[in-house]
Structure 1
């Protein structure tokens, strides 16, 4: 069984290793406002959990190589299996913290970040806010230089006047097309800090618009506040469906 867990762990993380780090939300509040004239504002305030994929993959590979060596020497089954140990050594932990502190400094230089603070154990505190016009798509977070390549929220232009909002990173439930796939299973596999990072998700996402709300997937629907329609999603590790809505705005000529 433990051998299978090791294989599953490496299979899950292998496609993401080139990203070096995986960033996932912890406890947060996020808001998106889209106006009929295509202007928008977006904010995220709260925790960001960073997972060192390359370090994790290296340990998974070491475990796999050790198992292969045992099989080759014919020792498989002669000694009881032990749980895979993905805990960082004090030296590895210190190096990781150093790298993450440097990363916080670099991220804080990017447009929209009002503050970025590294608090240890892979935990960042982020205050982000940006505004603009939706004549192009928008995703967050995304930064090639800082290895943020798996956005949590995407605003897509569909045709001349339709905008679709989807926040796959704000849920963690496996098998719901949220972009994280079965990564939530890592906690069940006993993978230490990585499982802990995925267990912290708890947040609120609020969408506000004065445009035509074509569709949305919140069972409680939208609340009318003056000329605005407001939808509030509360998400955690048990949430099934990623927040999603379609909005009709001024057409692009």
Structure 2
């Protein structure tokens, strides 16, 4: 097995476990455009047009769930050199016996995880063939979701619009019945009329020396999408990784005339001026390792 194939298999197994764990429904952007406009000291508009990938509704999660039900021998190694070797018949028999002994425990765990995932997905069972249609209906009845189309394999094409006052914090996406742990964009209000904007969903996490890096947090799916783009094999795990859409798009912040951008991490800094309002733009790709962030003096209280 090549190093890359090993990474792919480990990635699929890990994500399958994450999709069933009580850590939330993992989501990631695909191709998109998004804009936050701070239109006044107490008003804003936000839009997101493009793809959102839901891990729990993808083939990758289904492959992982199936893998939990299939016996796969563990790798045997030489006690002195720690190099891989073929397992003896006795070792394989012992592994199989241990696997069979844990069958009931695995089944009970799977049933509990399925209940937990349905509970945090607004009552939607990810294993239900109609789960994607149910999610479409759930989003369509929420204000702001103007278009929701399931493209297949957990990828949805959406158009979201929101207009509101700056009297409260703002997160996107917020889905009824879902935990708010995968925000693409966060807007936090500070005293003194300052607005802090973070976009943790528009960045990947750096890989470690082993190529996998930290697999927790919002950036992990985008990182796996980049890994999947490198795959050339036709095995199910590789195909599922390729099914994760590549994160590619732009995120723009517009500040109304008279407001000041106090800090940001764009490459070029604010564009425009005091009479037209300043603009920040980030070009997002699988190579974006740093989440967009900005601090704006919007005025008001």
TM-score normalised over the length of structure 1: 0.76
Q: Name 2:292's counterpart in structure 1.
A: 243
Structure 2 Cα separation of the partners of residues 227 and 185 of structure 1:
37
Structure number with greater Rg is 2
Q: Name 1:39's counterpart in structure 2.
A: 43
Structure 1 Cα separation of the partners of residues 69 and 224 of structure 2:
18
How much has 1:121 moved relative to structure 2? 2.4
Q: Name 1:61's counterpart in structure 2.
A: 68
Q: 1:58-111 CA distances to partner (integer Å, 9 max, x unpaired)?
A: 245346x533599795139xxxxxxxxxxxxxxxxxx66521122111111111
Structure 1 Cα separation of the partners of residues 7 and 271 of structure 2:
48
How much has 1:37 moved relative to structure 2? 1.3
Q: Relative to structure 1, is the Cα distance of residues 29 and 172 closer, same or farther in structure 2, using a 3 angstrom cutoff?
A: same
Tell whether the 8 Å contact from 1:154 to 1:167 is kept in structure 2 after alignment.
yes
Between Structure 1 and Structure 2, the one with more strand by share is: 1
Q: SS in structure 2 opposite 1:66?
A: coil
Tell whether the 8 Å contact from 1:174 to 1:184 is kept in structure 2 after alignment.
no
How much has 1:167 moved relative to structure 2? 0.8
Q: SS in structure 2 opposite 1:151?
A: coil
Q: 1:147-195 CA distances to partner (integer Å, 9 max, x unpaired)?
A: 6641111011233422110111112243699933544453537634552
Structure 1 Cα separation of the partners of residues 268 and 75 of structure 2:
56
Q: 1:187-232 CA distances to partner (integer Å, 9 max, x unpaired)?
A: 5376345523544211011110021111111111111164311111
Q: SS in structure 2 opposite 1:75?
A: helix
How much has 1:57 moved relative to structure 2? 4.4
Tell me whether 1:227 sits opposite 2:265 in the alignment: no
Structure 1 Cα separation of the partners of residues 178 and 280 of structure 2:
32
Tell whether the 8 Å contact from 1:26 to 1:46 is kept in structure 2 after alignment.
yes
Any unmatched runs of 5+ in structure 2?
77-86, 94-126, 208-212, 232-236
Structure 2 Cα separation of the partners of residues 3 and 219 of structure 1:
36
Name the count of aligned residue pairs.
234
1:166-205, aligned counterparts within 5 Å?
A: 166-174=198-206, 179-187=217-225, 188=227, 191-192=237-238, 194-205=240-251
How much has 1:14 moved relative to structure 2? 3.9
